[in-house]
Amino acid sequence: MNEPVKEVADRVLRDVAERENGVPGVVAMATDRQENLYEGAAGKRELGREEAMTADTVFAIFSCTKALTGVTVMQLVEEGVLGLDDPAKEYAPEISEIGVLEGFDDTGEPRVRPPASDITVGQLMLHTAGFGYDFFNYDLVKYGKARDVPSVVTASMASLRSALLFDPGSRWEYGTSIDWVGKVVEGARGKRLGKVMQERIFEPLGMNDTAFQLSPSMRQRRATIHQRGDDGVLNPLSGFELPQEPEQHMGGHGLYGTVGDYMKFIRMVLNDGAGEHGRVLKPDTVERMAQNGLGEMKIKGLPGVLANLTNDAEFFPGMPKSWAYTFMINDEEAPTGRPAGELGWAGLANLYYWIDRKNGLGGFWATQIFPFADPNSFSGYMDFETAVYDQMVRNQAA
């Protein structure tokens, strides 16, 4: 490992894991184009138990799933099986049944109308299709109660039969679009999404500990999700697990995996689509995935509507940010040192990553805490990313 990075990053991890009500445990890694230059772990897999966090700990990675689902679509585009301008209903017919929510009548009954146009595959990839998440949107909470729409963590088709918040293509709203992308991939391939990922991403990259369903070995190494209460105290949700015989493989959030596996995915992007055991994407496809797809439209902060699941959340407040297929782009240089135009995103249980194709650097920070945008975990991540740039870029330039 890179010794200057190790010294500073180890200190970041220890501090956030050892402070009172910090994080239960954390695994963080950083990589260049060739190999991991840092691997670290601190704290426990579950508070009150003895198992330490280790580099091979398994996490529910939530929305870090999205980028992998995006790759399965771009592989189909490469092969000419589908196009980003294709109507999504050609591959996922159920999407044509979803209407636009215009409001509620005096009795609380939703007012829904047909969308002005068909949803395209590209709009799903860019989060401009109209779908949202109830934990970031009050209207979807109200709609869900009126129409008995279950939570997306049920991994059910019923959870996807919510409403659009606007006509396709007119705004950006973060939500269940990538779950529908997974349905598109299944329709185009004739296989479940997990099988597609296994054959076309996990095997070429050597990602042996990533899946929608936990193997016995993965379950033994699984970290427990913790709930932070209003008093700041963390409580383990020992019995919480994403559905293990899921009706739907949720392309937006359903994977379990290790940080080491995700670093192999990040290196694939840094190496223009090449993996350890084979090519996953063509270089020009990786370039296309990394480009802003929103034009002049910008993404927005995410309001914490369901307080048990998320705080108000935004990367680099005040900085303009765009969306690619399927990553956030920081349009200006970030305070951490990440250059303008690079990639990143996160997962609901306070997992965060970045991919810097300019400098050939990437990193991942994994904890298991609700609600999202936990101040202790997120500030630790920012300190970790900053430490990597200080040692690998800023000091070398000085």
Residue 272 token pair: 């223009």
CATH of domain 3-75+188-397: 3.40.710.10
For 105, residues 6+ apart whose C-beta sits below 8 A from its C-beta are: 111
CA distance 173 to 301: 10
DSSP string covering 341-364: TEEEEEETTTEEEEEETTTTEEEE
Per-residue pLDDT of the chain (398 residues; tens, 9 = 90+): 889 999 999 999 999 999 999 999 999 999 999 999 999 999 999 999 999 999 999 999 999 999 999 999 999 999 999 999 999 999 999 999 999 999 999 999 999 999 999 999 999 999 999 999 999 999 999 999 999 999 999 999 999 999 999 999 999 999 999 999 999 999 999 999 999 999 999 999 999 999 999 999 999 999 999 999 999 999 999 989 999 999 999 999 999 999 999 999 999 999 999 998 999 999 999 999 999 999 999 999 999 999 999 999 999 999 999 999 999 999 999 999 999 999 999 999 999 999 999 999 999 999 999 999 999 999 999 999 999 999 998 677 65
What residues does each domain of the chain span?
3-75+188-397
The residues that are catalytic are 63, 66, 174
pLDDT value at position 281?
A: 98
Containing 2, the helix (H) or strand (E) segment is none
Sign of CA dihedral 308, 327, 377, 57: positive
CA distance 84 to 73: 9
Query: How open is the CA angle 137-322-92, to the nearest 5 degrees?
Result: 60
For 238, residues 6+ apart whose C-beta sits below 8 A from its C-beta are: 46, 224
Query: How open is the CA angle 326-330-333, to the nearest 5 degrees?
Result: 150
CA distance 144 to 154: 14
